[in-house]
Structure 1
Amino acid sequence: MIRFASAVSLAALSLALAGQAQAGAPGAEEPAPEAVAGAASETQLPDVVVTATKRATNLQKTPIAISVMNSEALEDRHVQSLMDLADGAVPGLRIATFEARQSALTIGIRGIVPNDANQPAREQGVGVYVDGVYLGRQHGLGAALLDVERIEVLKGPQGTLFGRNTEGGALSLVTRKPTGEFGMRAKAGVGNLSAYNSELHVDFDAIGDFAIKMDGVISVQGPVTKNILPGEEGFGAYDRRGLRGQVRWTPTANFTADLAADIGKDKNTPFYSQLLNFNPDGLTVVPWASTSVPKGSIRALAPIVQVNGDSIMKRADIGTPQQWSVDDTRGVDLHLSYRPNDNLELRSITAYREVDVEQYDNIAGAHRPPVVGPNANFSRYSLAGLWQHQFSQEFQAVGSLGDRIDYVGGLYYFKETASDDAATPSTNRWNADGTGYTILDPTPTIRGFRSIDRASRAQSESKAVYGQATWTPAVLNDALHITAGGRFTWDDKSGVLSKVNNVATNFTFNEKNERFNPMVTVAYDVSNTVNVYAKYATGYRAGGASSRSLTYRSFGPEDLTSYELGLKSDWLDHRLRLNAAAFYSEREDSQIDFSLVTVIGASTRNTLETINAPGTTKIKGVELEGLMQVTDGLTLSAAYAYTDAEVPPTRNPFNGVVQQVFIAFTPKNAFNLAADYTAPLFGATFKAHVDANYADATQAFDQFELKNDSSFIVNARLALADIATRPGGPLATVSLWSRNLLNEQYVYRRDPSNRATIGDYGNFNTPRTIGLELALKY
């Protein structure tokens, strides 16, 4: 309550600073012609355009649970990558790092949260798309965002229009396109933790039928935790850079070709893994220098090891070799659109993408050692590489038959090849008395000299045909809308685990699956501003194999069936917007992860087996969103998500015990509140934003009941915009922003794997960041 009161007080302070003057409502993205129900006045909420049905529609007329963040909302929260949405910006969307590495993101919606989908033969449960192009790997998702116009969060299975691996939903990023008119936006900023960022977006005047646009982004932050080993990188740092060029060719009024190419480099270091407690099971403690540790006993901590379960460590207690992990992303896509008449548009989307990752993760020092004691090696350096390339081709036909039927149909092809390897040498050795350590010969950490824990390669080919149509019968004053659709998918997936524990192997798997995913929605316009719907939808996540398994154990796909009731409504002459959805889902053959850390010589190996859980996983929930234009300049918003998941008990493959299992990173209750205010000030526009985001504690692993901490994060931004620099010159904006304003510190990932040898270790969120930005717009 104290933290909530602080957030409310901050909002009140911002409003007080602004005075009592009023101005127009916050800006919104310009709605497409198909989506406009009528121009909104300054005191009304603007229409929001979405493309969740493969055509531009009004959010309030679209019978899908969707949350939308436009470019202004992203700027208000200082969102520079998808990592920044881990604060709870959309309560039903959960984003976390895999382990503590910023090089791979775990994304979940409605309890569909794959914990370790960063392997070549494993899939995500939430599809991530950029301009309609599916991104096949979790790696590279933390890259810098390149001029995003909006992010659409589609909740619930999207198997009909978006295909496999969207059983939880889809995250659709839509970027700004070339305009053919000169315009330039530039931004530069600095912040604490040695942070700085800059952006440049240039639209060039059209050259004949060609419009060209260039985007460049740099986003840098120094370490959150200092590494005390001289010359080595700290922990929790990043250096993200991206460049994209676009060309739009419009030779005729009914044909458009968009060609885009991008390249990104995301250098990052993992968040520090801290020892949160010591001997939580109350075992007998023997001296650290003992030559042996009897069963049921635990060795005392070395004198220099620190325990801190309350706050993030600003300075590591153990210095370790640590270098940048590097994610290189590259891609090119071609979008073609041809409109032979007003009732039909034919589209083609061709794309090729690559992700190359070199991972260096030495985050724990002595906090999760393979061995403790005098002269023992410790500090597990997780070294891994992943190389992926994909090609996709999609054809779409979007049109209408008369005034009663709107339809979309398509053909889809996707092919991917991915490979990985991993090694886990120890880098440090204890001295005899535990008061110091030495750094080992670095040779085993160098590629080409590593002892490889695993190496694998997987190929995937997917083909699909889909169609969906909405019929508005000539009854009930055209208020009834019936949508039906389906998608046939053919998957062919195979792989080989070529090395285990540095020994050549030839474990293989091959899976061929066929699926039909239907969807039926019945929507009814109660009035011009109130719409209700009932929806039946299905989705599935492809099977695969775990490259962390000693035998490349394969597992089958999981299937989800969802039932949903929804409400979309505007009230008080479009000043109040209330949307709600209630859902119930049943998932068969849930993919559940079990892990076991084993000691192999001077290193450790994290063995992971994935099992298809028996029975039915039941997931139910409620999602609420509200938005109110209180005055011309004040907008308030709120959102809430309740998610309850129950997975049938499953047999642990390592010990044969049937145990309760859980869905990771899924809070039962999550909500956020936000206030936005604008007013004229000194011939410019004053803007104030504050948001507060809460989430219940969650599990970090399928197999452990132990929970992370609950979280409460407040973000804020004050800006003076539209400052005239000179006659005919650019408009300037000066802003002061803060993420995690109240400096809330919580454990977002807690691991009990080493309880018997030392204690629980975990990772804290990023502490408060604050910065100043200057933006210019021509």
Structure 2
Amino acid sequence: MRLTKKNPLLLTRTAAAVLALYGTVGVSYAQEANSQAPAATSENNIEKVVVTARRREETLQDVPVSVTAFSADQLSKQAIPDLTGLTNSIPNTTLKASRATNTTLTAFIRGVGQADPVAGFESGVGIYMDDVFLARPQAAVADIYDVERIEVLRGPQGTLYGRNTIGGAIKYVTRKLAPQTDVRVRATVGDYGQKEGVLTASTPLSDTARIGGTIAKFKRDGYGTNLVTGKGNYDKDLTAARLSAEFTPTQDLFIRIAGDITQDDSNPKNGHRLMVGRKSGFPILSNVYDTQGEMITTNGHEQEIRAHGVSALVEYNVTPEVTLKSITASRRDHSWAPIDFDALPVVDLEVPAEYSNKQFSQEFNATYSGKDLQGTAGVYYMDATAFNQFDTIVGFPAFIASTYTSANVGTKAWAAYIDGSYNLTPDLQLSLGGRYTVDKRDAALYRQSYLGKGSPYLGNPAATKLTAIPDTDLPDLSRRDTKFTPRIALNYKVNADHNVYASYSEGFKGGGFDPRMNMVGTKLTVAKARQGYSPETIKTTELGLKSSFNGGRITTNAAVFHSDYKDVQIPGSVAIDTNGDGKDDTFAGVTTNAGKAKIKGVELEAIAHITKEFTLAGMYSYIDAKYKEYIVAGVNVADKRYFQNTPRNSSNIRATYDIPTPLMGYNGTTSLMASYAFKSKTYQFETPSDLDQQSYHLVDASVVWTRADGRLRVGLHGKNLTDEHYKTGGYLFQTLGNEGTLSAFYGAPRTVSGTVEYRF
């Protein structure tokens, strides 16, 4: 089903009407609180969500920050599978699996993000697992299990978080262990052979020690088929586990040691060609989830992704007002990723790749919560290394050539931050914050060209070096960037139900080196290569209003914001001719610092408990993101460039109706849920292409029965019920190879699944 021109306008008007009906404007959903999360209760017994957006507990309606929170109960009811399943419920936010991957995350908030997950780049959106920053996007599409809540903060957050969060932050908060033995089981079956199981168990060892763990298996056949190999395309085969131990030697000291591991053995995900093969004449397939890709493996390795990490949290309440915290973490991931760009059974544009990342981080912070003064101060250190190597294999009429690329990019980062709030009057609060950041980046880059299907480094010892094409050998690149970024905010409680705030904040992300640079084809000088790309900065002004009505039964939140975005880091790939024969023979990374951009927008969210049984929620966001200076070959082409992964309009309407329903001799509640989401046109790159996604909508529905004591839940869930086909990414290299490359990746089709959850 395709949208007519009237549909988006109708949805927008409907969302606006919902928001207008239940009060004026404000900035985040008031979501259901998890039973283990701290919560206050209003006079109408409506739970208020408590978040830690400012590193201390505050209710969602009181915190002067644009934040959306999702409780474990809400995620369970809606059968949200992973972080990408939240994207339709959050204003001005895009979360998706990166092209040709299952578990690499592409995240954009308010126009800021990172689309190309290459070595050394960090996303403009910070991903945090229990306050541990994930330096790389590989394996960051976390399947949701063992979770207490997820918080999504929009806008720069540098004065409160250890690492750069120039566009926003996503916080995945896991559940603390229960004081008594707790065993939970969740099972899911669905079409496309979906079979999932999650087993969680914890128990106290003594009055001061608890231990717990979770093991999960997520498996599904492909939405389509690789017609060459016969294997499923867009399948899923993922195993995950988590183990934690918690200690409370005294009532003021809390220690948690945790470890997690994820193993992804899914088949390689191949794209759907949008053009007929230029030489072979291979037709465009009718099923967008089918493919004809046949990949060259990396040193014989099939696709595999493994990520694991350990962390230690020590939290000590020095006094009722002062808390000291230490967060120590180490993480690693390794990926073998054979990628077939051309999506055909011929060797025309193949990129077998290997990624290896490791990081160590240490953060110390102190939180003070006094009557009139509250705040957080901390220091942060990170040492991370990102290595990748890949072959770019290109077909020519009479031969096949390969370009080997390797890069080792190291990052050492130090930061000190402070953010405090002072009650000038009982109703007026002033917040001031600052952060000083030092980013040091070192890199070693190497490229070499060969005749043959791949290089000796990645499994082809018979390859012949092309001596006519000079190597790119840059072993000792280095740069150091520093920046102080401030934040100031005022929030005024007009009365107990209305909170208005204004804020100004700055964000910063250090510069670096594109690991795919080629000095020959791009005519890059050594001096320019050593400079690398520059840091990017953003200055954001925001005005928001958070309101509640009728004893909290209705909440409305809104924000308007304006950002000045400078030296925007835009990683991309271009086809190049390295030997001057007039034909492109490989591609190179070209990271552009677009000079200036202006971003402004509006975010509206509302939730209304219309009756005890019926709840209606709505979200609408608008963003106007435009480049003002984008220099190419000395010419400003800003009017011909667009922000990628940033649809101008997004809407979402959700309705829930609860019906008391006795079942199997137990009292319980049947919840009927439906949602309708809309996104306007989305650009995949800075320039328009056939890979851009026109406006589309998604319809979901669920029927869930929950036993009154909360121990049993059974649900039936339908996603994308109109079977909308929408592009989420793709490859565009039409001048490379004999066939040309124009291949797209798509979001999930219509799916139906059933879930059972039981708590012993």
TM over 0.5, shorter chain: yes
| Closer/same/farther in 2, CA of residues 504 and 591 from structure 1, 3 Å limit | closer
- Match in the other structure for 1:307: 284
- Match in the other structure for 2:444: 496
The alignment partner of 1:73 has SS state of helix
Runs of 4+ in 1 over 6 A off after TM superposition: 1-8, 599-603
- Match in the other structure for 1:383: 352
Q: Does 1:713 align with 2:709?
A: no
- Match in the other structure for 2:417: 466
* Contact 1:312 1:745 (C-alpha < 8 Å) held by counterparts: no
| Closer/same/farther in 2, CA of residues 336 and 95 from structure 1, 3 Å limit | same
**Structure 2: gaps (5+ residues):** 13-29, 450-454, 456-470, 520-528
CA distance in 1, matches of 2:122, 2:31: 39
Residues 347-746 of structure 1: pairs in structure 2 closer than 5 A: 347-362=325-340, 364-366=342-344, 378-401=347-370, 403-425=371-393, 453-473=404-424, 475=425, 478-501=426-449, 503=471, 505-551=473-519, 554-598=532-576, 605-614=586-595, 616-652=596-632, 658=637, 660-682=640-662, 683-704=667-688, 707-722=692-707, 731-746=711-726
Q: Does 1:337 align with 2:315?
A: yes
CA distance in 2, matches of 1:391, 1:540: 21
* Contact 1:713 1:742 (C-alpha < 8 Å) held by counterparts: yes
Give the alignment partner of residue 764 of structure 1, picking from 743, 746, 759. 746
- Match in the other structure for 2:180: 181
Residues 43-122 of structure 1: pairs in structure 2 closer than 5 A: 44=46, 46-86=47-87, 88-116=88-116, 118-122=117-121
The alignment partner of 2:104 has SS state of strand
CA distance in 2, matches of 1:530, 1:629: 18
CA distance in 2, matches of 1:150, 1:74: 8
* Contact 2:124 2:167 (C-alpha < 8 Å) held by counterparts: yes
- One-letter amino acid matched to 2:64: P
Cα deviation, residue 610, structure 1: 0.7
Q: Greater shift after overlay, 58-67 or 356-365?
A: 356-365
| Closer/same/farther in 2, CA of residues 548 and 319 from structure 1, 3 Å limit | closer
Cα deviation, residue 349, structure 1: 0.7
Cα deviation, residue 464, structure 1: 1.2
Cα deviation, residue 598, structure 1: 4.2
| Closer/same/farther in 2, CA of residues 604 and 422 from structure 1, 3 Å limit | farther
The alignment partner of 1:663 has SS state of coil
CA distance in 1, matches of 2:178, 2:642: 48
Q: Greater shift after overlay, 98-107 or 135-144?
A: 98-107
The alignment partner of 1:648 has SS state of strand
CA distance in 2, matches of 1:198, 1:29: 21
CA distance in 1, matches of 2:275, 2:403: 32
**Structure 1: gaps (5+ residues):** 9-24, 279-298, 368-376, 433-439, 445-449, 725-729
Q: Deviations over 1:147-177 (max 9, x none)?
A: 1211111000111112553111101111101
What's the Cα RMSD here?
3.1
Q: Deviations over 1:566-602 (max 9, x none)?
A: 0111012211100000000001111123431247899
| Closer/same/farther in 2, CA of residues 603 and 73 from structure 1, 3 Å limit | farther
| Closer/same/farther in 2, CA of residues 27 and 665 from structure 1, 3 Å limit | closer
* Contact 1:40 1:47 (C-alpha < 8 Å) held by counterparts: no
* Contact 1:351 1:393 (C-alpha < 8 Å) held by counterparts: yes
Cα deviation, residue 301, structure 1: 6.2
- Match in the other structure for 2:24: none
- One-letter amino acid matched to 2:98: F
Cα deviation, residue 520, structure 1: 0.4
CA distance in 2, matches of 1:605, 1:85: 37
Q: Deviations over 1:13-40 (max 9, x none)?
A: xxxxxxxxxxxx995324866x63x445
The alignment partner of 1:641 has SS state of strand
- Match in the other structure for 2:272: 274
* Contact 1:77 1:739 (C-alpha < 8 Å) held by counterparts: no
| Closer/same/farther in 2, CA of residues 393 and 314 from structure 1, 3 Å limit | closer
CA distance in 2, matches of 1:604, 1:68: 48
CA distance in 1, matches of 2:165, 2:647: 20
CA distance in 2, matches of 1:188, 1:603: 51
CA distance in 1, matches of 2:317, 2:507: 31
- Match in the other structure for 1:234: 232
- Match in the other structure for 1:28: 33
Q: Deviations over 1:508-528 (max 9, x none)?
A: 421111111110000000010
The alignment partner of 1:85 has SS state of helix
- Match in the other structure for 1:11: none
Q: Deviations over 1:224-245 (max 9, x none)?
A: 2211224x53321121211111
The alignment partner of 1:162 has SS state of coil
- One-letter amino acid matched to 2:388: D
* Contact 2:341 2:731 (C-alpha < 8 Å) held by counterparts: no
The alignment partner of 2:749 has SS state of coil
The alignment partner of 2:707 has SS state of strand
* Contact 2:630 2:637 (C-alpha < 8 Å) held by counterparts: yes
Q: Greater shift after overlay, 262-271 or 330-339?
A: 262-271
* Contact 1:259 1:334 (C-alpha < 8 Å) held by counterparts: yes
CA distance in 1, matches of 2:127, 2:262: 17
- Match in the other structure for 2:171: 172
* Contact 2:615 2:657 (C-alpha < 8 Å) held by counterparts: yes
The alignment partner of 1:341 has SS state of coil
| Closer/same/farther in 2, CA of residues 406 and 623 from structure 1, 3 Å limit | same
Give the alignment partner of residue 256 of structure 2, picking from 258, 262, 266. 258
* Contact 2:44 2:551 (C-alpha < 8 Å) held by counterparts: no
- One-letter amino acid matched to 2:406: A
| Closer/same/farther in 2, CA of residues 269 and 582 from structure 1, 3 Å limit | farther
- One-letter amino acid matched to 2:48: D
Q: Greater shift after overlay, 696-705 or 498-507?
A: 498-507
Instruction: Tell me the percent identity.
Output: 27
Cα deviation, residue 689, structure 1: 1.7
- One-letter amino acid matched to 1:698: T
TM-score (norm 2): 0.85
Cα deviation, residue 219, structure 1: 1.0
Cα deviation, residue 75, structure 1: 2.2
| Closer/same/farther in 2, CA of residues 321 and 491 from structure 1, 3 Å limit | closer
- One-letter amino acid matched to 2:83: L
Cα deviation, residue 343, structure 1: 1.1
- One-letter amino acid matched to 2:198: E
Q: Deviations over 1:717-765 (max 9, x none)?
A: 21222189xxxxx943221112212211122335553179657432222
Q: Does 1:41 align with 2:44?
A: yes
CA distance in 1, matches of 2:618, 2:547: 15
| Closer/same/farther in 2, CA of residues 4 and 561 from structure 1, 3 Å limit | closer
CA distance in 1, matches of 2:296, 2:614: 51
| Closer/same/farther in 2, CA of residues 277 and 405 from structure 1, 3 Å limit | same
Q: Does 1:316 align with 2:321?
A: no
